[in-house]
Structure 1
């Protein structure tokens, strides 16, 4: 009992320390002084003051050396992870992501060790959960945001078409879309207009957004603008046709989803049913299911026979779920 108490104490202290490091902001006094200095530099006519304000802005947007070294040592590809976090539309940092992963790892590992599982199994299971759960959650947020973007993107193209037909330039119509279309579409077009205002070309601003979103729909839009600028033609008509194609593409996706809904429902029921029955039996008669929670020092990796069978069954269920998911996955 003393060892468990010490383990829980160390766990709580580690989680609190990670939370303070990840979410602690700058000092209010330093932030106030920085804002005052930026306002003075912005309204000063001196060239040196303007240069100093720009340098201060660049330094404030740069990651600190301690954080960068820590993230480089822990993350094999921090650039790719940073791109994925930006694709979610959330203002999450690498340190916050790693804090969540470390917290899940420590929590699950400690709970399994307190329950009596072997140290090696608890660490391996906690490590898999700490690496897999945040990655899965970020991917889910990315897919959800991309779906919202694709649902409103044809409306943005039609608004661009009406603006071009009324005689407005393309840059001004992009600004109208950023203010009129809500959700991810307005946010992305606002970033495009801001990049254009600070000196980026339209092709560069659009391509950066296309690389971050990673959607074929927006890539079609970027290619259409690039071809039109080189060859000429009626851009309003081209964008109108593109909006029609994207709407038909979305309708085809919905039709495929409706046709495959029965198979997906069957897969969900088959996949959830064993775990549901297992949980109900544990609730009704835990002693009957206790061999699944009792480690065996003489077994494989300290696991009992029933635990090995359960892990093998989950592996086969995972393979079956993967095959069923690929059978109802269609590329359009």
Structure 2
């Protein structure tokens, strides 16, 4: 009976938080009015700058994925396959599922042998089996993305030099594929291969942009698309883009350095309860063993984990900045 009351209280608090968020997180009237006025200005303006800005906004909006999908995917399974592809490790979907299921089963069985608590063992097994592989894939994607953004301005500069020397764009893309190492060379090699089999350059670039889902490469594709419609010196435009991307990378490094102390504090504060719980469990198992046998303590422990997860999510958002 006590567990039911605790669950009802927790559900009531959760519903209260959802209602509060819905009440205060609605769309801003001022922002909506400004957006509509800007859309009217773009629609009736004869200025080339306004038209280019409108095309840029449309292109960026078209690349925003849905809540449950990743740009370039049509389902959750396709989104997961895309995530695995972005790691550059050659991992397949069956390997990922087998690793997640095996890890979840191993942790659940070991926890059940140690504590004889089926509910806690099942929850912990599912949490570890779903969380750790996701974290590993996300870390691999982040590392590959950092390598890509580091070398990408150099690839654009190589493209600029090729254009200024008189080479066509498609041939210069092939030079980038062979001269630039790492993820940049791999992606441009895939682009040149798609062009060789009959795809247009725009389609090949768009497919790569959908798979990578990186702002830097999207800027590159948008620059080429706008230059084809409006004309101008492509080499000069790409040179300016390379300079902007380098400054963007420098700003990211500055933000990372300035927020490193806050991130370290968040890691320490978030890990301390688990470290203390584990140490007490090894030193005096009887003192803390109730969390594995008493239903009330299990419910309280799960509630505490939920609130800690919410706090960790909020702290992560506070030190995360988009440029």
Match of 2:216 in 1: 217
Cα distance change on mapping 1:121 and 1:275 into 2, 3 Å: closer
Match of 1:15 in 2: none
The answer as to 2:303 corresponding to 1:312 is yes
Q: TM-score, normalized by length of structure 1?
A: 0.70
Match of 1:271 in 2: 270
The answer as to 2:292 corresponding to 1:322 is no
Note the C-alpha offset of 1:240: 0.3
In 1: Cα distance, 2:127 partner to 2:187 partner: 34
Which whole-Å deviations, capped at 9, do the CAs of 1:183-206 have from their partners, x for residues lacking one? 111110111111111111101110
Q: Secondary structure at the match of 1:260?
A: helix
Tell me how large the CA RMSD over aligned residues is. 1.8
In 2: Cα distance, 1:310 partner to 1:118 partner: 13
State the aligned residue count.
249
| Alignment map for 1:90-129 (pairs within 5 Å) | 90-129=89-128
Q: What stretches of structure 2 of length at least 5 have no aligned partner?
A: 1-74
The answer as to 2:76 corresponding to 1:77 is yes
Note the C-alpha offset of 1:113: 2.0
Q: TM-score, normalized by length of structure 2?
A: 0.72
In 1: Cα distance, 2:169 partner to 2:278 partner: 59
Note the C-alpha offset of 1:156: 0.7
In 1: Cα distance, 2:254 partner to 2:142 partner: 19
**Relative contact order (C-alpha < 8 Å, sep 6+): which is higher?**
2
In 1: Cα distance, 2:232 partner to 2:78 partner: 39
Q: What stretches of structure 1 of length at least 5 have no aligned partner?
A: 1-75
Which whole-Å deviations, capped at 9, do the CAs of 1:39-92 have from their partners, x for residues lacking one? xxxxxxxxxxxxxxxxxxxxxxxxxxxxxxxxxxxxx73212111111111212
Note the C-alpha offset of 1:104: 1.3
Match of 2:293 in 1: 295
Give the structure with higher Rg (CA). Answer: 1
In 1: Cα distance, 2:279 partner to 2:114 partner: 20
Q: Secondary structure at the match of 1:200?
A: coil
Note the C-alpha offset of 1:275: 2.2
In 2: Cα distance, 1:308 partner to 1:248 partner: 50
Match of 2:169 in 1: 170
In 1: Cα distance, 2:280 partner to 2:125 partner: 25
Note the C-alpha offset of 1:311: 2.9
Note the C-alpha offset of 1:231: 2.6
